[in-house]
Chain A
Amino acid sequence: MADDMQDFAAEARAFLDAHAPKAPDRTAPSWGEGDDSMAYFSSLPPEAEREHVQRARDWQRVRHEHGFGWITGPVEYGGRGLTPVHDLLYDAVESEYDVAHTGVLSVIGLGMIGPTILAHAQPHIKERWLPAMYRGDAIACQLFSEPGAGSDLASVATRAVREGDHWVLNGQKVWTSVAQHSQIGLALTRTNPDAPKHRGITAFLVPMDAPGVEVRPLRQMTGGADFNEVFLTDVRIPDDHRLGEVDGGWTVALTTLMNERATVGSEGVGPVAAALSPDHLSALMRATWTWDDRALRARLAELLVDALATRHLNTRALRMLRAGGTPGPEMSVSKLMYGQNLTRAAHFVSDVLGPRIIADTGQWGTYAWSELLLATPALRILGGTEEIMKNILAERVLGLPKEVRS
């Protein structure tokens, strides 16, 4: 590791030592101890959910005050001006500590919307929102999908009509994660119905407290409600909240989607990490007396081959970044594999547990897996379905002919 990296890591460690306890080692055999949650999506009651979000904001603020809130961000907006490698290094160090989960802020807002605002917004909008977001004051959501526009995002139908120096938005968004906690959303709207689909879209930053914005929680199959329907009725947005050119919103969307792949593909942290931990899975097999089942052992090994190879893929992407290059198809492959690995892990474990995953016997670390099991279908859908990711790999990496599109 280069000197400045070592200094940076030491600085991060000093900060964390002063502000957070060390995390219990989740990968070490600790069967039967502590929290056995395997929740990928939260399914907390509203009061607990609000507390959870507040803890996330508080931790983000502390991070930001000490220079670790936006490591790659430009200094003028409160960033640190360092490289993605510093960012990853910080994440690695932080994972050794027991800190609040900040996914509600970081996955979509800081991971996807922040970089898009930075790339496409006017300077005073950047000044208004970027520091607030990275300080934990503002949460952002992605208002892309609509009932009629999922994989085919260019079909968005939410209309934006110009009225002087304002735009008036009307339409419905759906599956909008964290909208219920958000202060702003990045919306794709149709501004030119006559242009070819991709050419008639404009992107806006929508203050979620603007009159006419209504967020309705959607209950998802895990039981909780992380995502929402968002109705936009005569919502007035000043023109300076536009990102990019009029009818040039597709370029803006691509910035977000590119960052989405990188964010979603990165390895899981928190409780779900146990799903791919060799020690945890072998402890589970011991606890359930399935230890010497040859068929299950072979499946465990297969699962670990994929999990460890995916980790190698991420390491290589990181090495490429560190050398100043851009990673190739690694991030898309990684995103695909991550969803599949967790899915396979959940089904492997359900075969180990048998009936113990269908009803709660009270035994530690058994029924808890049902939370992950129920979350896995989403991992093959969100951030671009498996099928769409394969189209992208085949067309962009292998140069196969484009699909016939209308």
Chain B
Amino acid sequence: MTADETGLRELRASVREFLEAKSPEEAVRKLMESEPRYDPAVWAQAADQLRLPGLVIPEEYGGDGFGLVELGVVLEEMGRALLCAPFFATVVLAAQALLASGDREACARHLPGIAAGRTTAALAVAEDSGSWDPALISARAVPDGEGAWRLTGRKSFVIDGTTADLLLVVARTVAGPSLFAVDRDASGLSAGPMETLDATRAMARLTFDAVPATLVGADGAAGRTMAKVLDVASVGLAAEQSGGARRCLEASAEHARTRHQFGRPIGSFQAVKHKCADMLVQVELAEAASREAARLADEGSAEFPVAAAVAHACCSRAYMFAAMENIQVHGGIGFTWEHPAHLYFRRAKSSQLLFGGPAVYLERLLDRLGI
């Protein structure tokens, strides 16, 4: 299903209104210091009132079957508001991994709960190096002789890893990297929060000690699955980043219009004016890159993988740039804990490096271009 322009505007308006009410700055600040790092009541409302967790889950699995364009609108708004919620981990990472695995049985088992907002999920790929390259995975899974598997090893940087009901884990078998489902309550699993640069995004370290696990998709197929997930997830992340970057730009422009020094608004000084214009250029490019990538995905275009890589790189850079310049335009107040600028700075840096960082995503772009 695809919404038209009016539909998209309405979706944006209702998500923004919801977030303004449920995720104002005070709420974000409170949640980022609490455990769990989200408000289950707000999450339930997002599911019941706005049906957000099911937005892009196919109708056959209980979702509304929308595409990345609609998902992008929602993520842009969440990025603006720095919403603390298990949305990214559950919907953008875990659910997409289930769908990309092609395992209809696993989808039928897990997706309806996710779509309804009852199940939260996480995707555990990276280990201590932070790399998302399946070839670098050392966690191992061995058959337990009864059709199930036992999983051993360690995962890091797992978003919402301490709270997710369902864990999808990439581990190595004899056949290669493979995807497994693990229950939160499984024996031998322990999870601890990691201290994070961006406190609005909870991350965990997971330890598996012969944990019972179910294979998702074909044995040895996680390399391909992860490539697909990464394309979708980086476009989702790009939307979140462009929303955050747009927010930084707006804050800077507002400040530049109202703050006076030397008897003039600082925005009348060209050094400041040009900073804001440079931010605008970056934000416009970022929005175009992430929205076009989403559109190409929904059209099933062969250009999508390249566009996804462009969006990832472009939005990572734009957000970091906007977050830095936002502090500069604000001057001293921008460097205080009280001011929200640092929250965006932290999110921008953390997002930029989430899937490996510039060296990795620039090479991925060349790879997708066949270079």
Contact = CB atoms under 8 A, between A and B. Distances in A.
A335 to B, nearest CB: 11
Contacts of A302: 313, 362
A258 B50 CA distance: 42
B133 interface: no
Contact of A390 (B273, B306, B317): B273
A301 B264 contact: no
Interface stretch (A59-67, A178-186, A303-311): A303-311
A315 B286 CA distance: 14
Interface in A273-329: 278-279, 282, 297-298, 300-302, 304-306, 308-310, 312-313, 315-316, 323, 329
B371 A313 contact: no
A245 interface: no
Given A278-B369, A278-B371, A397 B285 contact: no
Contacts of B313: 301-302, 305
A387 B257 contact: no
Interface string A329-353: 1100100110000000000000000
B285 to A, nearest CB: 4
Interface in B348-366: 358-359, 362-363, 365-366
Contact of A399 (B257, B272, B362): B257
B306 to A, nearest CB: 7
Size category of the B interface is 35 or more
B307 A403 contact: no
Contact of B276 (A282, A306, A394, A403): A394
A404 interface: yes
Interface in B311-335: 313-314, 317
Contacts of B34: none
Contacts of A402: 268
A393 interface: yes
B284 A400 contact: no
Given A312-B310, A315-B292, A397-B280, A390 B365 contact: no
A305 B286 CA distance: 10
Nearest to A398: B253
Interface in A366-399: 387, 389-391, 393-395, 397-399
A391 B277 contact: yes
Give the secondary structure class of A's interface. Answer: helix
Contacts of A313: 284-285, 288
B281 A336 contact: yes
Contact of A309 (B272, B277, B289, B366): B289
The interface centre, meaning the residue of A315, A389, A393 with most chain B CB atoms within 10 A of its CB, is A393
A402 B257 CA distance: 10
A286 to B, nearest CB: 10
B365 A301 contact: yes
Nearest to A305: B313
B292 A398 contact: no
The interface centre, meaning the residue of A308, A333, A387 with most chain B CB atoms within 10 A of its CB, is A308
Nearest to B316: A305
Contacts of A395: 273
A313 B281 CA distance: 11
Given A312-B288, A403-B270, A398 B310 contact: no
Contact of B280 (A306, A333, A401): A333
Given A400-B253, A400-B268, A301 B362 contact: yes
Contact of A300 (B274, B276, B366): B366
Nearest to A291: B371
Contacts of B5: 323
Contact of A400 (B276, B307, B317): B276
A177 B249 CA distance: 37
A305 B310 contact: yes
B314 A305 contact: yes
B7 to A, nearest CB: 14
Interface of B: 5, 249, 253, 256-257, 264-265, 267-268, 270, 272-274, 276-278, 280-281, 284-286, 288-289, 291-293, 306-307, 310, 313-314, 317, 358-359, 362-363, 365-366, 369, 371
25 contacts: A297-B362, A301-B362, A301-B365, A304-B365, A304-B369, A305-B313, A306-B314, A308-B307, A308-B310, A312-B291, A330-B284, A333-B280, A387-B270, A390-B273, A390-B274, A393-B281, A394-B273, A394-B276, A395-B273, A398-B277, A400-B257, A400-B267, A401-B264, A403-B273, A404-B264
